[in-house]
């Protein structure tokens, strides 16, 4: 009789132990499902609007800084062109991007909960410059009729969208009034080189890239001059994807925002690359004018 009771007790203990283990496993499985995959790499991108080596160096410095400040593993992922970056952002493969005004509007149209949160102080009063050779006879926008012309990238705010808008304001149809169809160089530094070499009579590009090129003697100002500077507009910004907290945990977006907004001249490699001394807050609504112009020019729906 005693043996029978002992067997019953042992069996009961085994059943209880198995149930407890099963419960713990269920809780563990549930916990793993709820917790974000924090081993994921936080991937950042940037529109390829200038020299690839310089861009990689500057953005890799940002990735290292963010990694040190947030504790996340951060990596810069280059994009072959503007559209590729927007597509990667839409797919959730890029968690934060340095966009131009137009690409940020395009990205947020595809990811409505995305947030353009920071910019350089100059980006609230940004300009494009129109350049030509001193001997071209071009001194105002109207003089561009019948001349060859190059924009930057087709998706560039300062290298295409806003220059095209101001050309239109001056009564110039970029598809009809130039000597042939306008060219798209792909990047701002290529634009000034094409005009410098005489491949095109004129072009338009980002004011900041032009100023940096002049400062560092990357362009021969005896061969190229600025003949028109546009009115100001909002442009470049840091935009966070809407999936950041889902992937990296609640509060991850705030950690990244705080890190970007805490950058100072102590992070010289970063501030030198971005030609600024800090980043300041911005918001999606600041790019309303760009959205309006892009819709008018049928560049977004």
28 falls within a domain: no
Nearest to 149 by CA among 193, 204, 186, 190: 204
pLDDT band at 25 (very low <50, low <70, confident <90, very high): very low
pLDDT at 192 over 90: yes
> pLDDT tens for residues 265-292?
999 999 999 999 999 999 999 999 999 9
Whether residue 270 is contained in a domain is answered as yes
Domain range for residue 252? 42-123+235-296
Question: Are 205 and 271 in the same domain?
Answer: no
- Position 21 in a domain: no
Residue 159 has pLDDT above 80, yes or no: yes
Q: Is the pLDDT of residue 187 over 70?
A: yes
Q: Indicate the range of 50-54, 99-103, 263-267 predicted with least confidence.
A: 50-54
Residue 50 is predicted with a pLDDT of: 85
Confidence of residue 298 (pLDDT cuts 50, 70, 90): confident
88 and 77 in contact (C-beta within 8 Å)? yes
Provide the domain count of the chain.
2
Residue 274: both structure tokens together: 């971005």
**Last residue within a domain, chosen from 229, 250, 272:** 229
Res 154 pLDDT > 50: yes
In a domain, 31, yes or no: no
d(CA 151, CA 66): 33
DSSP 133-157: -TTS---SGGGGTTS-EEES-TT-I
Q: Do 143 and 181 belong to one domain?
A: yes
| Alpha helices per DSSP H over the chain | 2-34, 52-70, 82-90, 101-110, 162-169, 188-197, 207-215, 244-248, 252-261, 268-274, 288-296
135 and 218: one domain? yes
Q: Which of 229, 261, 283 is the last residue of a domain?
A: 229
The partner residues of 251 in beta bridges, in order of sequence, read none
Residues 97 and 134 in one domain: no
* Structure confidence at residue 6 as a pLDDT band (50, 70, 90): very low
| Residues 209 and 244 placed together within one structural domain of the fold | no
In a domain, 100, yes or no: yes
Distances (CA, A) of 276 to 124, 237, 270: 13, 13, 9
Chain segment 227-265, per-residue pLDDT in tens:
999 999 999 999 999 999 999 999 999 999 999 999 999
Q: At what angle do helices 188-197 and 207-215 cross, to 10 degrees?
A: 60
Burial class (CB in 10 A: 0-12, 13-18, 19+), 96: buried
Say yes or no: 119 and 241 in one domain.
Answer: yes
Higher pLDDT, 297 or 88: 88
Output 16 or 127, whichever has higher pLDDT: 127
If asked whether residues 77 and 222 sit together in one domain, one would say no
Distance CA 148, CA 160 (A): 15
Q: Are residues 207 and 81 in the same domain?
A: no
Instruction: State the chain's mean pLDDT as an integer.
Output: 89
Please, are residues 119 and 283 in contact by the beta-carbon 8 Å criterion? no
Task: Give the C-alpha separation, 178 to 188, whole Å.
Answer: 20
Cα distances (angstroms) measured from residue 178 to each of 27, 103, 170, 195: 68, 26, 13, 15
Is residue 45 within 8 Å of 89, Cβ to Cβ? yes
Of 185, 212, 229, the one marking the end of a domain is 229
The confidence band for 38, taking pLDDT boundaries of 50, 70 and 90, is low
- Find the CATH number of the domain harbouring 176: 3.40.190.10
Q: Would 163 be classed as within a structural domain?
A: yes
């Amino acid at each position: 009789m005693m043996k029978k009771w002992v067997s019953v007790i042992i069996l009961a203990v085994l059943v209880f132990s198995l149930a407890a283990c099963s419960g713990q496993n269920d809780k563990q499985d549930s916990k793993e499902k709820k917790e974000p995959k924090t081993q994921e790499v936080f991937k950042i991108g940037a529109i390829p609007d200038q020299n690839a080596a310089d861009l990689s160096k500057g953005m890799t410095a940002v990735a290292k800084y963010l990694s040190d400040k947030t504790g996340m593993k951060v990596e810069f992922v280059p994009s072959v062109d503007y559209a590729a970056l927007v597509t990667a952002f839409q797919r959730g493969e890029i968690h934060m991007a340095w966009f131009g005004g137009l690409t940020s509007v395009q990205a947020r149209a595809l990811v409505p909960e995305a947030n353009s949160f920071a910019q350089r102080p100059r980006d609230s009063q940004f300009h494009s410059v129109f350049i030509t050779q001193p001997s071209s006879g071009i001194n105002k926008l109207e003089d561009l009729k019948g001349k060859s012309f190059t924009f930057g990238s087709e998706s560039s705010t300062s290298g295409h969208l806003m220059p095209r808008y101001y050309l239109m304001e001056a009564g110039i149809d970029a598809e009809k009034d130039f000597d042939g169809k306008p060219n798209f160089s792909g990047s701002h530094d290529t634009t000034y080189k094409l005009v410098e070499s005489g491949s095109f009579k004129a072009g338009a590009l980002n004011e900041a890239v032009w100023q940096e090129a002049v400062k560092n003697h990357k362009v021969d100002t005896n061969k190229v001059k600025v003949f028109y500077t546009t009115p100001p507009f909002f442009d470049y910004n840091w935009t966070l994807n809407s999936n950041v907290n889902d992937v990296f945990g609640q509060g991850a977006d705030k950690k990244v925002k705080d890190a970007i907004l805490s950058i100072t001249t102590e992070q010289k490699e970063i501030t030198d690359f971005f030609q600024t001394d800090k980043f300041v807050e911005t918001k999606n609504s600041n790019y309303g004018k760009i959205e309006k112009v892009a819709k008018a020019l049928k560049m977004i729906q």
